[in-house]
Homo-oligomer: A and B are copies of this chain.
């Protein structure tokens, strides 16, 4: 018998009928004799309804009270699900974040989990109860309710799985797993049945939307095997787990596309020590994350520097760079939205040579110019013209034979 944590998102519990379906699904697992802990989100639309109330109530809703408000969304779901489980004969009990002492810091609306006290959960499991826990919420050391921000329920599920030492953490969602790339772009994308934490981390931060990086980080830290699967079917999904021998034989696990970056170019920057520190220091002060950076070869003591930032930060990045440009006697600052970042990810890259070259060749063969390159031990990213984004994904996906069953 195993101990399984199951997480159901807002769409999976979006209506009374869907919650009933989820209850039936839980019973199947419980009937097999497994211990089951369930983490649920608010019913789809509920969090936004509550946030709307807050914004009608106050121009700048207090963050602490906003957390008190929106955390009711998950509370409604756990109560409804637990009563449904009891109705169909499955002993069950609901727990709020504070009732399992999901202790967080006090950064309201995006708190970080410090610890979980699993005592009561374990006791309930020993009584063969299905434990239903509100996702997305915790409590700070003073006893105030906190919420964990976007993807918070996944994080709750992984953290609970770590705390109770679950055999698996199943994330039920509206897709049936993680794919080698977005099937909407590349029809021959295949489901990845096993992916290493590190690969998933890179893919998540490079644009794959299935799971947030911090949930993957948490799973990796505590070695929780995560199974991403569909709440609308019973087919096997994707396992996110510790790297194993088999994974190394796969050079590239997946191809990602990120269209949410903008490129900022600084032309005619004085090429002398300390200049880069001034520029990127100014961005850091503004809490702007810089992704890829390139610097051209210097000519006549001047050089060009380009970097990418998230599109929402682009304006502020330009403004900050212009302030530095004025102080230092002038360089030109321009920005472009017309870029996309295509990346390949795979732990196999560590042991195989020529992977980047194969990607560059595939792009070149398709006539796609590479504007910027960034690499790490297990990924290669190329910034290209936005117009070629989908084409680039397809040719790279092909170049590594990702459409073919291994």
Contacts and interface: CB of A to CB of B under 8 A. Distances in A.
A99 interface: yes
The size class of the interface chain A forms with chain B is 35 or more
Contacts of A150: none
A57 B69 contact: no
Interface string A63-89: 001101101100110111011101100
Contacts of A75: 68-69, 71-72, 75
B76 A72 contact: yes
Contacts of A355: none
7 contacts: A16-B56, A20-B57, A54-B79, A58-B83, A60-B87, A68-B78, A72-B76
A345 interface: no
A14 to B, nearest CB: 13
Q: Which 5 pairs across A and B sit closest by C-beta, in order of nearness? A: A69-B79, A58-B87, A72-B72, A68-B79, A65-B83
B62 A143 contact: no
A94 to B, nearest CB: 5
A145 B93 CA distance: 12
A159 B243 CA distance: 58
A323 interface: no
Nearest to A139: B99
State the oligomeric state as a number of copies: 2
Given A68-B75, A143-B99, A80 B57 contact: yes
A67 to B, nearest CB: 8
A110 to B, nearest CB: 17
A293 B96 CA distance: 49
Contact of A69 (B65, B80, B87): B80
A61 interface: yes
A80 B62 contact: no
A377 B75 CA distance: 49
Nearest to A53: B80
Given A62-B82, A62-B86, A69-B75, 16 more contacts: A16-B56, A16-B57, A53-B80, A54-B80, A57-B80, A57-B83, A57-B84, A58-B83, A58-B84, A59-B87, A62-B83, A62-B87, A65-B94, A69-B79, A69-B83, A71-B75
A143 B99 CA distance: 7
Contacts of A373: none
Contacts of A65: 79-80, 82-83, 86, 94
Contact of A68 (B50, B58, B69, B94): B94
Contacts of A80: 53-54, 57, 65, 69
A19 interface: yes
A55 to B, nearest CB: 10
A86 B108 CA distance: 16
